[in-house]
Every structure is written in C-alpha cells, then in structure tokens.
Amino acid sequence: MPCERKPMRYGHSEGQTDVCFDDTGNFIVTCGSDGDVRIWESLDDDDPKSISVGEKAYSCALKNGKLVTAAANNTVQMHTFPEGEPDGILTRFTTNATHVAYNSSGSRVAAGSSDFMVKVVEVSDSSQQKTLRGHNAPVLSVTFDPKDEFLASASCDGSVVVWKIEEQTQVISWPLLQKSNDVTNSKSLCRLAWQPRVAKLLAVPVETTVQLYQRDSWALVSTLSDDLGTQPINVVAWSPCGKFLATGSIGGLLTVWDVEGKLCVDRQKHEKGYTVCGLAWHPSGTQIAYTDTEGCFHSLFYPKCLRPFQH
C-alpha cells in the first residue's frame, strides 16, 4: 500500500507522548513528558499553541471542543479547544493519571491512574463519577465500548478487564500481559481499542500480536501477527470505518491491518527506530499520526488506498 510519508517534527522532550485529532481533522494535538500540550494547525505549523498542564502529560483526548489530559499532578484537566483556556479539573487521583479516553458521543471521559483505579466521569457534571476498582497495579489504558455499555482497561497487574459501567462490576478478566509495578517499567503501554461503529471487536496488544475479542461472548476470535514484528506492540488504533487497525511497536514498527482479511496492508519503519507510543487516525481515515518516545510526531497519508473503503 503506497503512502505519502511526511518528515517527522520535533514536538516535545524525550519521554512518553500522545496524539489525537480534533473532530474536524483540522488540528493535531500532542502532549509529552515536558508537561506541555501542543495544538498544531498543520504539519507545517512552526508555531503551535502550547498549554502547560503540569510536570508531565501522559495522555490527551479531544471531543466536542473539550480537550482533556492525564497528568503527573494527579489530575485529569479540561481545556477549551482550540483556545486552550483552562476549563476545570474533571477528576483527581492520589497519584499520576495515566490515560484518558472519551466515549463515542463525548459525554463521558474514562481515566486510569497509578493508584490502580479507573474512573468514568460525566463531562457535563464532573460530580457524577463511577469508580471501577479491581486492578492490583497501575492502569495502563482505558477504552469505551462504542455502545457505552462496557469499558475495557489494561493494568500492570497483567490483566485486561471488561467492566459493566453502570453496575461498576467486572464482566471478564484475562491474564494477558507481563506484570510490572509501574507504567514506566511495563513492557508495553497496552493501549487497547474498541472497534468503532459496529463495536464487535476489542483489540488488545499482547507481546508481538494483537488479540481480537468478540463483544458479549468475550471469545478470542482472531490474532493478528506479523513475522517481521519482533518487538512488543505498544498501541493500537482503529480506522474510523472500523475496517483497518494500525499498530505501533517498541522499536518503531508501524503496521496497518485489514482486519477481516487478516492482511497486513502496510508496514512502515520509524526512520530512527524510536518506540511508537501515540497513534491516531484522521476522521477521514486517510491519515495516521503517531508520536514516539523521543518527542517527535509523524504523519502518513493514504489518499488512494483507504478512501474507497469509507462509508
């Protein structure tokens, strides 16, 4: 699959980074271990707007003009977008917030932290929170079921858990990951992701593969693996149409899969071998942005290959 590869941009200092698009796809938002969030109007933007959110920013998410960040000051903060004005603290933890994600409508935010907890917060009224307890180590990532019934989370305790949000109970727990005592020591960030639209599949990076679990039955229905993928996968992201899955790994391998056909349709290697730790699709499905552990962000364009698959 031919793609246009843009030169990488330096956005943050060395360390964990994350990336997302706004709803229109006109802006790219990155955050990093320098504690800054940057709002880029294009890949050629030499003067992005910067917002300081704390000592370190581990994760960012954006929906309906509301930007949320998970930071080392134990908070999930909200800012207006694209103005970048502070808009309150959505929730607090007793230690670092590690990952944030919106539900499909933007009415709720899920956040995980190093104090082992997952919270689901109503954006319109942050006093309305549900706390999901059961992990025994820091939380690596969270993702909403697009139907807003379930939430999945991964933890340093080695488990991937599916929760029933309203009942605040575990539906199933899989012991899939290597255990660690902290996110920084984890072999993978395990940024799992739920298939958009049809919501049939939960994609979980496990070592060098992606395991796909079926919603409701929770059965393992497929495994995506690439013989050239020798390093653990760090993060996965679905295309907006739900047909393709992109993966980014330790060591900088990025792959794109046709999930139904279990075909690797593109494979790109980070030009300097840096670890991919943030990954996002443009709303059109024709561009992938990703960030690495050296503070850089990159973009791949697929104008001829992915557009025909959009609905």
* Residues 85/79, Cβ–Cβ less than 8 Å: yes
Q: How many residues does the chain have?
A: 311
Give the tens place of pLDDT for each residue, 27-58.
Answer: 999 999 999 999 998 777 788 999 999 899 99
Give the tens place of pLDDT for each residue, 98-144.
Answer: 999 999 999 999 999 999 999 999 999 999 999 999 999 999 999 99
CATH number of the structural domain spanning residue 222:
2.130.10.10
Per-residue pLDDT, 250: 96
Amino acid identity for residue 185 in this structure: N
- Taking residues 195-214, report their average pLDDT: 97
- Taking residues 181-204, report their average pLDDT: 96
Whole-angstrom distance, CA of residue 29 vs CA of residue 47: 13
SS3 content of the chain, % helix, strand, coil (to 5): 0, 55, 45
**Domain count for the chain:** 1
The string of DSSP letters for 157-224 reads TSEEEEEETTTTEEEEEEE-S---SSGGG-S---B-EEPSTT--EEEEEETTEEEEEETTT--EEEEE
* Residues 48/38, Cβ–Cβ less than 8 Å: yes
Residue 132 belongs to domain spanning: 4-309
φ and ψ at residue 308, rounded to 5 degrees:
-60, -20
Residue that is written with structure tokens 């800012």 in the block: 79
- Taking residues 193-214, report their average pLDDT: 97
pTM, rounded to two decimals = 0.94
